């Protein structure tokens, strides 16, 4: 189902607590980007090269060490004014000193709804979701590809319903891509799970592209402008 396919492109995690995002990167020189207050990642989503929707990640800082992240995704397919498929995801994250404190998410797909929430309790996250409820390691990340540390992932947690998914990430080297209307050098990774998803990050660790194929159709995230 398209619902299952879309859930896989909105996931991320890492192994280890000490490098949960770029604020506390584990020493890789190229991963230096730290989200600033007001930063926004905006992707136009294409299906077979035609408009399919948008994916936006917005950042705000309340003070030293406090970071809020809001994810908004809306995808739509139809014939003229007739909508045949609609997908909407909203999630929010709260971070403190590079550590995930809380995450919530809700998805609507053609009238069906699922949701999840997770809250830190010591060194674990307590997850309550339609697909999974229980305690998980505090190192698991929410569904947000903005976090380049997912390139060291071994397990994912869905912000649609709390589902846990095993993955393998392969480094595919460097590639010149078009992002924000410019050609840039980016680092390319393959996220190998139920469906293969390809992700690109620039040398500072910014998320700049995503692509995958499903049921013979290509889906591509095109960065609207560099951030």
Question: 200-225, pLDDT tens digit by residue?
Answer: 999 999 999 999 987 789 999 999 99
pTM (2 decimals)?
A: 0.85
Over the chain, what is the mean pLDDT? Answer: 86
Confidence band of 3 (pLDDT split at 50, 70, 90): very low
| Tens digit of each residue's pLDDT (9 = 90 or more) over 158-170 | 999 999 988 899 9
Q: Say how many C-beta atoms besides its own lie within 10 A of residue 176's C-beta.
A: 8
Q: What is the pLDDT of residues 19-68, one digit of tens each?
A: 455 553 333 445 689 999 999 999 999 999 999 999 999 999 988 889 99
List phi, psi (to 5°) of 122: 70, -125
**Residue, of 18 and 32, whose pLDDT is higher:** 32
Domains and CATH numbers, the chain: 2-223 (2.50.20)
Reported as a single tens digit per residue, the pLDDT across 69-91 is 999 999 999 887 888 889 999 99
SS (H, E, C) 22-48: HHHCCCCCCCCCCCCCCCEEEEEEEEC
86 C-beta neighbours (distance < 10 Å), count: 15
Query: pLDDT at residue 227 above 60?
Result: yes
Element (H, E) at 6: helix 2-8
Give percent of the chain with pLDDT exceeding 70: 86
Q: How far apart are the first and last CA of the chain?
A: 33
Amino acid 94: pLDDT:
96
The pLDDT of residue 131 is above 80: yes
Q: How many residues does the chain have?
A: 227
Q: E strands along 64-122, which residues?
A: 66-79, 82-96, 99-109, 112-121
Buried (b) or exposed (e) across 61-84, using 16+ Cβ within 10 A?
A: beeeeebbbebebbbbbeeeeeee
Examine the pLDDT at 132 and tell me if it is beyond 60: yes
- What does the alpha-carbon distance between residue 142 and residue 109 come to, in Å, rounded to a whole number? 19
The answer to whether the beta carbons of residues 70 and 57 sit under 8 Å apart is yes
pLDDT, one tens digit per residue, over 189-201 is 999 888 789 999 9
Instruction: Return the sign of the alpha-carbon dihedral for residues 221, 222, 224, 227.
Output: positive
Return the structure tokens found at 136: 């998980």
Residue 2 has what pLDDT? 40
């Amino acid at each position: 189902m398209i619902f299952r396919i879309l859930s896989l492109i909105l996931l991320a995690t890492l192994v280890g607590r000490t490098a949960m995002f770029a604020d506390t990167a584990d020493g890789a020189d190229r991963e230096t980007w730290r989200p600033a207050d007001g930063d926004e990642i905006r992707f136009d989503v294409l299906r077979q090269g035609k408009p399919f929707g948008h994916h936006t990640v917005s950042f705000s800082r309340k003070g030293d060490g406090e970071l809020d992240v809001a994810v908004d995704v809306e995808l739509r397919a139809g014939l003229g004014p007739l909508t045949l498929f609609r997908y909407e995801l909203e999630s929010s994250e709260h971070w403190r000193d590079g550590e995930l404190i809380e995450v919530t998410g809700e998805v609507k797909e053609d009238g069906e709804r699922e949701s999840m929430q997770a809250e830190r309790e010591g060194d674990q996250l307590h997850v309550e979701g339609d697909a999974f409820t229980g305690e998980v390691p505090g190192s698991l990340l929410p569904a947000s590809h903005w976090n380049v540390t997912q390139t060291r992932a071994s397990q994912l947690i869905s912000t649609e319903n709390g589902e846990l998914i095993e993955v393998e990430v392969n480094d595919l080297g460097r590639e010149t891509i078009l992002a924000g209307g410019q050609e840039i050098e980016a680092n390319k990774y393959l996220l190998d799970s139920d469906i293969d998803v390809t992700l690109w990050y620039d040398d500072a660790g910014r998320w700049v592209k995503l692509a995958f194929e499903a049921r013979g159709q290509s889906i591509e995230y095109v960065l609207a402008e560099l951030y």
